[in-house]
Chain A
Amino acid sequence: MHEWALAEAVITAAQQIAEREKLKEIREVNIKIGELQQVEQDIFYFALSQLKPSNFKNAKFHISTAKTSLKCRVCEQAWVFSKSKLAEDTAEAIHFVPEVAHSYIKCPKCGSPDFEIVEGRGVWLENIKGVR
């Protein structure tokens, strides 16, 4: 249920944008989730539905997933994160704090832990749509 805290952050951020943009009713919320964080989408959706305030009652939440691309800073090798290669407790640690990937994942070419998470780290609010 760590997803609950992330969903709460999305709702709070979306509400702040709605207030700033003077939107009375929110119709659409677009969210992107990086694969690295392995967010359970069913739980995330449920948390969003439970947490949404009254001006979001007709809002549709669209969640897209971004592949996690990694790039070695030493040899410039690029590769894509795959959960299936990780032990269960390692995957869970990365789920909680994606940066601990640097403790468990190494460049497949040169073995360095000094890589960049180019895309697909965590949860992002892409945009919201609503009416004034």
Chain B
Amino acid sequence: MNKVDPRTTVINERLRRTSRIIAVSSGKGGVGKSLVATTLALTLTQRGCKVGLFDLDFTSPCTHLIMGVKDAQPKENKGIIPPVVKGIAIMSLIQFSGDQVAPLRGADVSNALIELLAVTQWGKLDFLILDMPPGIGDAVLDLVRLVKRIEFLIVTTPSLLAFETVKKQVRLLQDLKIPIIGVLENIKMSSATNIERETEKLGLKFLAGIPYDPGVEDAIGDVTKLLGTTIANRIKNVVATNITQ
């Protein structure tokens, strides 16, 4: 027999007690995935759900910055136990790479992702939110391959440049029969409804349009302020009507 990488065999066992696994994703970078993922995790926690937040943007992680996490290290007990911050179990490569740069090629990203999925003991969760790296690369393909029950929540901006890539990602996920909760339009600068119409043409639910909120930058690192922003208010509605309903 050829030698076998044993790690992939335990990934779904590690996630067995997680009810739903939602990947917050976009074909394009800079659309606000991390902000949406973190705010989604915080909102679900506010509603009394047990939530995990896994930052999979290994080369540019930032959910720890959005949450204002200073020094929260995982513990070892038959695997890695994520630290709990603001009621959320958090996991990020930053817990291992610190303030060093993490220059990883695709195969390294894949290996680190499989390693963390195989050894992280999330325990019982209602939701595991995955903050995805931009694009339709290794992380998306590995998660679709390895994680049963994964669902995607797609983030775009009103820009044609973002939405064209989102359409390709949606096509891939639909071809693979992966559930898509819907599309969130972030950083909306006008009342135009073209993204809403285009989303419906794809056969998907348009979840919300989130207007550009200049107050968001000031809320980075302060979850109380963040939960008072327009983005948080819109995500609360999305959670109530499309996720926990």
Chain A residues within CB distance 8 Å of chain B: 1-2, 4-6, 8-10, 12-14, 16-17, 32, 93, 96-100, 102-104, 113-114, 121-128
Contacts and interface: CB of A to CB of B under 8 A. Distances in A.
B96 A5 contact: no
A127 B6 contact: no
Given A1-B77, A96-B119, A99-B111, A13 B9 contact: yes
A49 B98 CA distance: 35
A17 B1 CA distance: 9
Given A6-B119, A100-B97, 18 more contacts: A1-B78, A5-B79, A5-B121, A6-B7, A8-B13, A9-B118, A10-B6, A12-B9, A13-B9, A93-B97, A96-B96, A97-B116, A98-B111, A99-B115, A100-B102, A114-B103, A121-B111, A127-B3
Interface size class of B (residues with CB under 8 A): 35 or more
A100 B118 CA distance: 16
A1 B3 contact: no
Contacts, number: 105
A95 B58 CA distance: 17
A123 B111 CA distance: 12
B112 A2 contact: no
B108 interface: yes
Contacts of A98: 111, 115
Contacts of A13: 4, 6, 9
B4 A97 contact: no
A8 B10 contact: yes
Interface of B: 1, 3-7, 9-10, 13, 58, 74, 76-80, 93, 96-98, 100-105, 108-109, 111-112, 115-116, 118-119, 121
Given A13-B9, A17-B1, A104 B80 contact: no
Nearest to B74: A96
B123 to A, nearest CB: 13
Contacts of B74: 96
Nearest to A101: B108
A114 B106 CA distance: 12
A10 B25 CA distance: 32
